[in-house]
Amino acid sequence: MPVKISVHERSVRESVLYQDKNFYISLAQMRRISRDFRSEMARGLAGDKSSLKMIPAYVDKPSGNEAGRFIALDLGGTNLRILQLELKGKGRILKHGEKKVVLGEKYIKGTAQSLFDFIAGFIKDFLREEGLEQTSGLMLGFTFSFPIQQSGIASGILVHWTKDFSVSGVVGKDVVVLLEAALKKKGIQNVSVAALVNDTVGTLAAGSYKDPACDIAVILGTGTNACYQEKLSNILKWPGRKSKTGKMIVNIEWGNFNKIQLTEYDRLLDKKSDNPGFQILEKMVSGMYLGEIARLLMVDLIKRKLLFRGGNLAVLGKEKIFKTEYMSRIEFDNSAEGVDIEALLKGLKVADSSAQDRLLIKSICAAVSTRATRISAAVLAGVITKIDPSLSRRHTVAVDGSVYEKYPGFAGNIEAALKELFGKKSRNIVLKVTKDGSGIGAAIIAGIV
Ligand code: ADP
Ligand code: MG
């Protein structure tokens, strides 16, 4: 049975999603975001006040000829991973072993000591399992998915935590020093930290090891960020040191970009977050927050009796109950009555949804996710035109993260928005999923140094 929505009701719903609350990002807005983003990049590179930190990574892209055996340790927003990799040159990589664990609240909200002791123990187990306890001179690349201010390739001070981390005793400290101290405490003497890299930098290394046209990397997972290859002469704040190539990777820390118009829901989410006023772009785009924005919108519509006839507030009123994964599942349901949406809602103990409710929820998810893709495309366009204003050559963008990979339509909507922005020339932009980039890339960078 087709779902009937009255003209009045439809116009109320559309105005809720697209006009009053400004969830729709027009082409003109994308252009403005892109332009503002470029000028924030320039200010950040000059060392002027900017929402973008533009952190030099102390390393350039790999040549593809790096070779040897390396350990890669990857501390993401959700998982801790370790891999043993063999770089064979010519862009070839062999993976020898891998181990993964989800970090519990105990570690992500605990103390530096408990986190780093846990990491060192995890490394120790891996070395035993891989038969590497007696191997001397193991080089480790450490991917750390948080903003670090580096002063060399194997050192970096945590600027502040992002995502949901709030481990005490780490901000302002060198995370390599903390890791090495924990390794020593566990009696591990054969491992040294050769490189500390941000996950975007690792992803760019992984993408460009195989494809020389890859000069940008983007993360769209728990959080969001990007990095790119910049000319040293453009990094005005860089103290004049030379490098072999004259170029260096710059970690933009784009999650903190803040020249974007917020809705009342974004303001509410920001106010309740661990870091109000910071990571504004991240809060509109990444997996940690999309579900929560959708939930806040639903709560508002419930209160206005436009959803569930005003019911189910007790369930949906709970903070963070509505995950980004659910939005994926909801948008994937193309049935007229929202059959799977109903199953999902039942699982959440949301009672008595009508088909209209379910379709409205689907359009809420679409509004929130489409906005995320158009903002992502706009800031990516900012980076690309910063490097290559007339888009005269090919740029491969290495992308890592579950939101980009798994959210139905996310990748396609970014590409469509890039096409709106660049027309035919958008063919020069190739987005490529670079899985495990953050893991593999740390090993590659350990191989450069
Ligand atoms: P990390 O960012 O920790 O390195 P991921 O890239 O795997 O890890 O991102 C994990 C985040 O992606 C989760 O926090 C969740 O918000 C989101 N996510 C996971 N699976 C899906 C999915 N199927 N659809 C949409 N978002 C997802
Ligand atoms: Mg990751």
Residue 10 identity (one-letter amino acid)? R
Average pLDDT over residues 28-56: 97
Q: How far apart are CA 400 and CA 381, in angstroms?
A: 18
**Is 205 inside a domain boundary?**
no
Same structural domain for residues 26 and 129?
A: no
Domain end among 197, 223, 249: 197
Please, which residues bridge with residue 248 across strands? 230
Q: What is the pLDDT of residue 18?
A: 60
| Residue-level pLDDT at 127 | 97
Whether 26 and 165 map to the same domain: the answer is no
For residue 184, what are the domain limits?
A: 58-197
Q: Angle between the 199-210 and 437-448 helix axes, to the nearest 10 degrees?
A: 80
Residue nearest to atom 11 of ligand 1 (CA): 222
Supply the pLDDT for residue 238: 85
* 399 closest CA partner among 227, 147, 192: 227
Question: Is 70 exceeded by the pLDDT of residue 377?
Answer: yes
DSSP string of 318-370, one letter each residue: STT-S-HHHHHHHHH---TT-HHHHHHHHHTT-----HHHHHHHHHHHHHHHH
Question: Can you give the pLDDT at residue 243?
Answer: 74
Report how far residue 32's alpha carbon sits from residue 20's, in angstroms, rounded to the nearest whole number. Answer: 20
In a domain, 206, yes or no: no
Could you say which ligand is closest to the alpha carbon of residue 220? 1
The pLDDT tens digits of the residues spanning 254-307 come to 999 999 999 999 999 999 998 999 999 999 999 999 999 999 999 999 999 999
pLDDT of residue 103: 92
* Residue at 337 is within a domain: yes
CATH number, domain of 27, equals 3.40.367.20
The pLDDT value recorded for residue 163 is 82
Pairing of strands 429-433, 395-400: parallel
From 48-57, 73-82, 203-212, 239-248, the region with the lowest mean pLDDT: 239-248
Is residue 161 domain-shared with residue 243, that is, in the same domain?
A: no
The CA-atom distances, in angstroms, between 303 and each of 15, 22, 271, 341 are 16, 19, 20, 21
Q: The tokens 């990799």 sit on which residue? A: 85
Lowest mean pLDDT across 48-52, 109-113, 324-328, 348-352 = 348-352
Q: Is the dihedral of CA 272, 273, 274, 280 positive or negative?
A: negative
**What is the pLDDT confidence band of residue 119, given thresholds at 50, 70 and 90?**
very high
What pLDDT does 245 receive? 86
What is the per-residue pLDDT for 266? 97
Same-domain pairing of 26 and 138: no
- Reported confidence tier of residue 91, pLDDT bands at 50, 70, 90: confident
397 falls within a domain: yes
Q: What is the mean pLDDT of the chain?
A: 93
pTM for the whole thing?
A: 0.92
Inter-CA distances, 102 with 7, 85, 120, 278, Å: 48, 21, 15, 26
339, 252: one domain: yes
Query: How far does the centroid of ligand 2 lie from the alpha carbon of residue 307, in Å?
Result: 35
What are the residues whose beta carbons fall under 8 Å from the beta carbon of 57, sequence distance 6 or more? 150, 197, 198, 201, 227, 248, 249, 250, 251
- Substitution site in 324, 344, 405, 413 for ligand 1 pocket (most atoms within 8 Å of beta carbon): 324
Q: How confident is the model at residue 239 (pLDDT cuts 50, 70, 90)?
A: confident
Domain boundary among 133, 162, 197: 197
Both tokens of residue 403?
Answer: 């939101």
**Ligand 1 residue neighbourhood (C-beta within 6 Å):** 76-79, 221-222, 287-288, 324-325, 328, 401-403, 406-407
Return the residue whose CA atom lies nearest to atom 6 of ligand 1. Answer: 401
Q: Give the tens place of pLDDT for each residue, 406-424.
A: 999 999 999 999 999 999 9
**What is the total count of domains within the chain?**
2
Nearest to 285 by CA among 189, 380, 180, 148: 380
Res. 15: pLDDT tops 80: no
User: Is 202 among the domain residues?
Assistant: no
Neighbours of ion ligand 2 (CB under 5 A): 76, 221, 438
Query: Taking 50 as the threshold, does the pLDDT of residue 1 lie above it?
Result: no
Q: Do 344 and 313 belong together in one domain?
A: yes
Q: Are 48 and 64 contained in the same domain?
A: no
Q: Which string of DSSP letters, residue by residue, matches 410-446?
A: HHHHHHHHHHHHHGGGGGGEEEEE-TTHHHHHHHHHH
Same domain, 165 and 284: no
Domain shared by 168 and 247, yes or no = no
Same domain, 71 and 186: yes
Cα 445 from Cα 59, distance rounded (Å): 8
Closest CA to 158 of 183, 141, 176, 131: 176
State the DSSP H helix or E strand holding residue 150, giving kind and residue range, or none if neither: strand 148-152
**79: CA distance to ligand 1 center in Å?**
10
Query: Residue 272: inside a domain, yes or no?
Result: yes
Q: Kindly state whether residues 364 and 381 are assigned to the same domain.
A: yes
In a domain, 448, yes or no: no
pLDDT above 70: residue 28: yes
Q: Whose CA is nearest to atom 7 of ligand 1?
A: 402
The CATH number given to whatever domain includes residue 161 is 3.30.420.40
Q: Are 184 and 233 contained in the same domain?
A: no
CB 418 within 8 A of CB 381: yes
pLDDT interval class at 60 (50, 70, 90): very high
